[in-house]
Structure 1
Amino acid sequence: MEEISVITAISHPLRRRIIDRLLLHGPTQVGTFARTLDAQVGSISHHLRMLQKAGVIEQVEDPDGDRRTSWWQLTRRSFSWSSEDYESPADALLAREAQRANVRNQLDRLQRWYRVSPSSEWTGFNTDTLGWATQDELLDLQARLAGMLDDWRSGIDRDDGQERRPVYFFAHGFPTEV
């Protein structure tokens, strides 16, 4: 179960973009965040401190040894929660709102892709399925998918000279009615 402070920290839209940048590019300097995310350095610094306080990122040394710059990296690569994990009604409400924000983010990304995909040489995919499962079996599916995605990411050689673009993958598993 995620601490509620982690969930509230990562559900802010700019912080989510910071996390995404760190996932794709690794340790990043504050000025680079500001330029690539079109935000003020002061705002970026504030959001980095919020993520650091939640234990999501940590400050690291400049790769070139320049102590005048501030570099950051992720302390973890994934987050998972359910509003049902929280006994406190206030925490459960925060977790539900974070889930809603996360789904909005996912759907916004998907809609942006569909708006530009006809003119793109890249293709995406759409997949879904339906089956029977217990709660433990659904959690097992989640763990297997997370492991598969970690294996997939670690198997990509980014230095092999091939053109790569950031790829976003999301999946939901939940009880439903038919």
Structure 2
Amino acid sequence: MEDISVITAVHHPLRRRIIDHLLLHETAQVGAIARALNAQVGSISHHLRMLQRAGVVEQAETPDGDGRASWWRLIRTSLTWSSSDFADSPADAYLARQAERANIRHQLDRLQRWHRVQHDTDIEGFATDALAWATPEELADLGQRVSALIDQWRAEIDRSDGHERMPVFFFAHGFPTQV
């Protein structure tokens, strides 16, 4: 079970963008993150320290040996939790639900931005959905399989092969529903 302090630290909007940047670039210098996210260096430094306290990022070795620059990398690439994990603490359960909502907003915001600009590119995205019967255990198994597939797909990408790549975002939700 994730600690609630980690969940709440990650789901601040700017911290989520910092995490996304580090996920794509592996390591990055504070100034480069600030430029990429159109934010102030001091603000990025503050949020990196908050993520460091939560155990999500750590300072990285400076690639060129120049100790004046502050470089960072992710040490956690995923979190898994449910608000039901915090049933013993109504306050923590509330914070976990708020983080779930923030996560969904983040995902839908990305999808809406794509739909606003997709007509300006010849690159296709994709959508998929499914409806099936499942026990809670089978639904959990599906989630684990999807996560494993994404991890495997990421690991198979050879970023040194000379191909030009762009950031892509994938999200999926599986949940009980009514027809």
TM interval, shorter chain, is over 0.9
Match of 1:37 in 2: 37
RMSD: 0.9
Match of 1:60 in 2: 60
CA distance in structure 1 between the aligned counterparts of 2:118 and 2:6, rounded to whole angstroms:
34
How much has 1:79 moved relative to structure 2? Answer: 1.4
| SS, match of residue 161 in structure 2 | coil
Give the TM-score normalised by structure 1: 0.97
How much has 1:163 moved relative to structure 2? Answer: 2.0
Match of 1:169 in 2: 170
CA distance in structure 2 between the aligned counterparts of 1:100 and 1:114, rounded to whole angstroms:
21
76-85 or 40-49: bigger deviation: 76-85
Match of 1:133 in 2: 134
- Structure 1 runs (4+) greater than 2 angstroms displaced: none
CA distance in structure 2 between the aligned counterparts of 1:130 and 1:3, rounded to whole angstroms:
32
CA distance in structure 2 between the aligned counterparts of 1:70 and 1:15, rounded to whole angstroms:
17
| Post-superposition CA distance 1:129-153 (Å, at most 9, x none) | 0111122211111111111101100
CA distance in structure 2 between the aligned counterparts of 1:149 and 1:77, rounded to whole angstroms:
12
Q: How does 1:71-150 map to 2 (within 5 A)?
A: 71-86=71-86, 87-150=88-151
| SS, match of residue 77 in structure 1 | coil
Gaps of 5+ in 1: none
CA distance in structure 1 between the aligned counterparts of 2:53 and 2:174, rounded to whole angstroms:
30
| Post-superposition CA distance 1:28-83 (Å, at most 9, x none) | 11111111111111111110011000000111110111111111111121112111
Match of 1:25 in 2: 25
CA distance in structure 2 between the aligned counterparts of 1:116 and 1:144, rounded to whole angstroms:
31
Look up the equivalent residue of 1:163 and give its one-letter code. E
Match of 2:9 in 1: 9
CA distance in structure 2 between the aligned counterparts of 1:61 and 1:157, rounded to whole angstroms:
23
| SS, match of residue 58 in structure 2 | strand
Look up the equivalent residue of 2:84 and give its one-letter code. E
Look up the equivalent residue of 1:61 and give its one-letter code. E
Look up the equivalent residue of 2:68 and give its one-letter code. R
Give the TM-score normalised by structure 2: 0.96
